[in-house]
Structure 1
Amino acid sequence: MIAAERRLKIINYVNMYKKIRISDLSRLCAVSEETIRRDLKKLEEENYLIRKRGCAVSLEGDNSLLSTPSFELNEQNRYLQLALKAIQLIRENDKVVLDNSKEAYYVAKHLPNITLTVITNSLKVILLLSEKDKITTMSVGGELQKDTLTYTGVLSKGIFNKLYFDKAFIACEGLDIKKGLTVNCVHEAILKKEIIQNVSKVYILLQSNKINKMLSNKISNVTDIHGIITSNDMNKVIEKSLKYLKINLIYSH
């Protein structure tokens, strides 16, 4: 079990029981208590829980110590679950594309330090991966948008026609069975369209509230992608339609 997957289990156990001993987490996760202590230290730093003597306490279980709104913690958990499913599809020596989405940021954050090549248009992702010495990180180049720390523009155009990549993990802001995948920003649409046209397998990291939405800039048809990573609360009619189109549906929980 990779560290990110184990930490998600810890978050779920802590939120379920409100308070749980380190010894119990060690038994449930089949790792040493010292490993659990390191995990809890990191999770506390990221505001997922609180450490107390010999145990971990849910933020939701102690309102006096609540430092992050519960809706925000739930949102972070959704991003994390999508990211963990994406990471399970990544193999050593893969060449991977990550976009500038929050979903892809979580993939980068929890990627294990293994031999990979990653290309991205996100400076945030580049900075995260710079701490992982086995991962070769490439930028698409272009003009840096300072508000989003994203590279856009003519320098990034055409790069995926020249390079080979195995898998891409990108997000969209709207999915409609007939209209396709859409985003709000035209620059993002151009780059994501190029990714979809040139990368062997493209997975869409999709929050379920983006389904049946349509924005102004189309990326591609639904049938142009390999799979969708999403939660299992998808509308059953949409689910049936996607399966009919032979879209690989991967559920985060």
Structure 2
Amino acid sequence: MTISFDAVQVWLDLAGIFFFAVSGSLLAARKQFDILGSLLLASLVSLGGGVIRDIILNSGPPAAFTNPAYLAPPLLATVLVYFLFSSVQRYTSLLILFDAGGLALFCITGTLKALAAGMNPVAAVLLGVTTAVGGGLLRDITANEVPQLFDPKDLYALPAFTGAALTTILWVSGSFNALTAGAVAAVVFAFRVTAWRRSWYVPLAVRGWHRLGLDTADGGAKD
């Protein structure tokens, strides 16, 4: 049985929504939100990037409002965190891991949808990155956190750029398939997590500025 491209994209979207939703519920737990606040934050982070993507593409109502299946992952994530969070000790690591999973999948699906809509490769990469980082930006702002996108001690957008660019190259060359998509997702996930654990970063806006609070002598290991 052959699975259509649209079906693959929907399943990738749903997986990315779930990963991002868990990160939102974990942040809500850390902020001591109630369960309704957890559900709303999970929905915001997991659906926000896709809504932004669909609005930019002007392809009709966003998928989050036309496909009821898109509402299930945030609800599932909220319930799982509610029952399991009390036994989770290293929640910061879990938040980063789930966020990295969502980032890896959304930079692919956002780029694919842009390419399928006829956007040029550069625009497709930019929309893929926007899809990947948009939800996390909304999550952090809503929870009164410094957005990871603008954290000078972390890499967030660069892994998404990498994934979107690789997806575009594979698409243009005719090499994009389920196997190569999995490879791209793995590269982005590993890049994001490794950058976080080792405190990789890009240069600041002005040469000579120093990152406040960054201890470069400790190797950057994190929980």
Task: Give the TM-score taking structure 2 as reference length.
Answer: 0.32
State which structure, 1 or 2, has the greater radius of gyration over its C-alpha atoms: 1
Structure holding more helix per residue:
2
Task: Give the TM-score taking structure 1 as reference length.
Answer: 0.29
Larger RCO of the pair (alpha carbons < 8 Å, separation 6+): 2
